[in-house]
Amino acid sequence: MKHTSDKPAKFSLGLPLLGTGSLVLGLAAIWQLGQGGFSAALLSMLVALLVALGTAASALVGQRRALDQARRAREAAASAEVQLRALFDILPADSICSVFDAQDRLVRANAGFMAMFPKTAAHIVPGARYEDILRRAVALGEVVEARGREETWVQQRLAQHRAPATQMTQALADDRWVRINERRSGDGWMVGLHTDVTDAVRKERDLERARRLAQKQRGALELARLASQEARALLESAIEGMPVGIEIYDAQDKLVICNEHAVQLHPHMNLRTMVGLSFDHIMQHSLQHQWITAAIGREQEWLAERLARRGTHVAPMLQEVRDGRWMHIYEIRTPQGYVVAAGMEVTEMVHQRQALEAANERLAMLSVTDGLTGIANRRHFDETLAAEWLREARHQEPLALLIIDIDHFKGYNDHYGHLAGDECLRRVAQVLQSCLRRSGEVVARYGGEEFALLMPATSNDEARFMAQRCMEQLALADIPHAASATAPQLTLSIGVASAVPDPAFKPEALVDAADAALYRAKNSGRNRYEITDLFSVGRSAD
């Protein structure tokens, strides 16, 4: 320090040195705060330094006269400065330290201090004014936070610098951060201790970023929750307004939502309390209550089939339930794996359809039934004859036909009356019907008092046997016929024909042959059957 080289300066050296002692103590205190064990050693050195400085000061102030004492004091001061320098030298590499005197001129700064402001470093020399150093660093852009508001920032910083104690965190141009502790002694000296807190600041910034991100995510989650609530409310109000029962199941097939209509469709349970339960569970509950008519007695089998086709009922599934109602159930699976089911009661429609089907069946039956006798009518006979003719032609089997005529029926009508004649026709029809033995045999009212009996896969002998049976059975019925010239009971004349059909000929040929045989039976005295021996349109069955 150049002011220690002349005599007046020797006198004035004591005060600064005393001040330096105080500042060094301050430095030791700050250092202790920051460095633990090392600072304890540092403090010891500072105390030793202070003692040396105290000795020098008291010698100069108290005994100015004694030149030797002054010399010792100067030496002590020089020694103190050497020690101060040594003190700076032993500071750890990442420690940044500076000392300014009461006029804010730099007394000493270590390399770390220079490194903080590399562009300004050349001007950071002992004796340089703090304000000059500061302004130069700001002008060279080395103080990040001052950028764009340089003068304002400089004024604020100077004010802080003049304060007895300041503590702040400052960004450096190379993206490092330092924590600045400045302490000013009673006589105006100032020690600044800078600690590199870049890691801590970065961690804090990372933490802050993470906190903000978490906050943002919480916000996004909250928004999503609200949106989901809104969507659910919309869905609820939409499905409540539907005129059908709606049930929605999630990808795990658990009930998510249902509407009031759905609740009413299943009065054997409270569907709303089953939200969260699986479809399987809900169905088991219904099956225990025997709710589904079609499942009664085969519950588990029914459920397995139902589950196998779950979500595939684009066309309605018809289901009858225990209280007699009928439901239509539509069930589809969404691309997300949800199952949406819509159910509606269709009892009235089903009843109407059942009535219509019954009417149609009745109509169909009436269309092939003789209204008086209840056996097949002529139309049915004609259709059956045509079908059997072709079938037996394919199979090359004989088809037999009996044309049966009541003898002297005009006389019966005349004698007993038309209504009795009707009743007689019914009785004859029942007798002939009772004669049928094999499936495929058909007896029909051919017209008036004539009947036709068709026998697939039947030879002439078998047909003859049938004719015989018909006559015997009628005889057993013992229907009186007082007006008959043949017998006191009702009798029959029968024409028999049988042939393996030739598709080149029409089935009427078989009827004609049987008719011809009947004609012969009538002409031969009635109460008999006759057979067409040679069937000219087909091969004889014999």
Ligand X SMILES: Nc1nc2c(ncn2[C@@H]2O[C@H](COP(=O)(O)OP(=O)(O)OP(=O)(O)O)[C@@H](O)[C@H]2O)c(=O)[nH]1
Catalytic amino acids? 449
Helix or strand (DSSP H, E) at 69: helix 67-90
- Cβ at position 405, least distance to ligand X in Å: 5
Binding mask of the shown chain, residues 356 to 395, with x at each position contacting ligand X by CB under 6 A: ----------------x-----------------------
Total residues found in the chain within this entry: 542
421 contributes a contact to ligand X by CB under 6 A = yes
**What is the CB-side half-sphere exposure of residue 4 using CA atoms within 13 A?**
19
Residue of 281, 298, 418, 539 that binds ligand X (CB under 6 A): 418
Largest CA distance in the chain: 191
Nearer to ligand X, 189 or 409 (CB): 409
- Cβ at position 497, least distance to ligand X in Å: 18
At residue 117, φ and ψ (nearest 5 deg) are -125, 75
**Cα 179 from Cα 204, distance rounded (Å):** 14
Site residues for ligand X, 502-541, by CB under 6 A, read 522, 526
For residue 451, the SS3 value is strand
Nearer to ligand X, 333 or 522 (CB): 522
Nearer to ligand X, 469 or 522 (CB): 522
Residue 509 CA, distance from chain mean position:
72
**Cα 127 from Cα 129, distance rounded (Å):** 6
448 contributes a contact to ligand X by CB under 6 A = yes
Helix or strand (DSSP H, E) at 465: helix 460-477
Q: What is the DSSP letter of 278?
A: B
**Cα 217 from Cα 283, distance rounded (Å):** 41
Residues 327-331: contacts with CB within 8 Å, 24+ apart?
327/265
409 contributes a contact to ligand X by CB under 6 A = yes
For residue 97, the SS3 value is strand
**Cβ-proximal residues to 427 (8 Å cutoff; 6+ apart), any chain:** 477, 479
Residue of 405, 512, 515, 530 that binds ligand X (CB under 6 A): 405
Residue of 406, 442, 471, 499 that binds ligand X (CB under 6 A): 406
**Contact range with ligand X by CB under 6 A, out of 192-200, 383-391, 402-410, 459-467:** 402-410
The residue count for binding ligand X (CB under 6 A) is 17
Nearer to ligand X, 250 or 450 (CB): 450
**Contact range with ligand X by CB under 6 A, out of 4-12, 116-124, 242-250, 403-411:** 403-411
Residue of 183, 261, 408, 464 that binds ligand X (CB under 6 A): 408
Nearer to ligand X, 464 or 528 (CB): 528
- Cβ at position 536, least distance to ligand X in Å: 25
Beta pairing class for 450-455 and 399-406 = antiparallel
Candidates 385, 363, 388, 365; CA nearest to 376 is: 365
Burial (0-12, 13-18, 19+ Cβ within 10 Å), 470: buried
- Cβ at position 424, least distance to ligand X in Å: 7
- Cβ at position 380, least distance to ligand X in Å: 17
Helix or strand (DSSP H, E) at 471: helix 460-477
**Contact range with ligand X by CB under 6 A, out of 104-112, 312-320, 391-399, 419-427:** 419-427
- Cβ at position 521, least distance to ligand X in Å: 10
Burial 64-99, CB ≥16 within 10 A → b, else e: eeeeebbebbbebbeebbebbeebbeebeeebbbbb
Taking CB atoms, the residue at the shortest distance from ligand X is 421
**Contact range with ligand X by CB under 6 A, out of 6-14, 273-281, 334-342, 404-412:** 404-412
131 contributes a contact to ligand X by CB under 6 A = no
**Cα 313 from Cα 330, distance rounded (Å):** 5
Nearer to ligand X, 342 or 425 (CB): 425
**Contact range with ligand X by CB under 6 A, out of 126-134, 218-226, 268-276, 400-408:** 400-408
Residue 125 CA, distance from chain mean position:
74
Q: What is the DSSP letter of 188?
A: S
**Contact range with ligand X by CB under 6 A, out of 180-188, 217-225, 241-249, 414-422:** 414-422
Nearer to ligand X, 84 or 431 (CB): 431
Residues at the contact surface with ligand X, assessed by CB under 6 A? 372, 405-411, 413, 418, 421-422, 425, 448-449, 522, 526
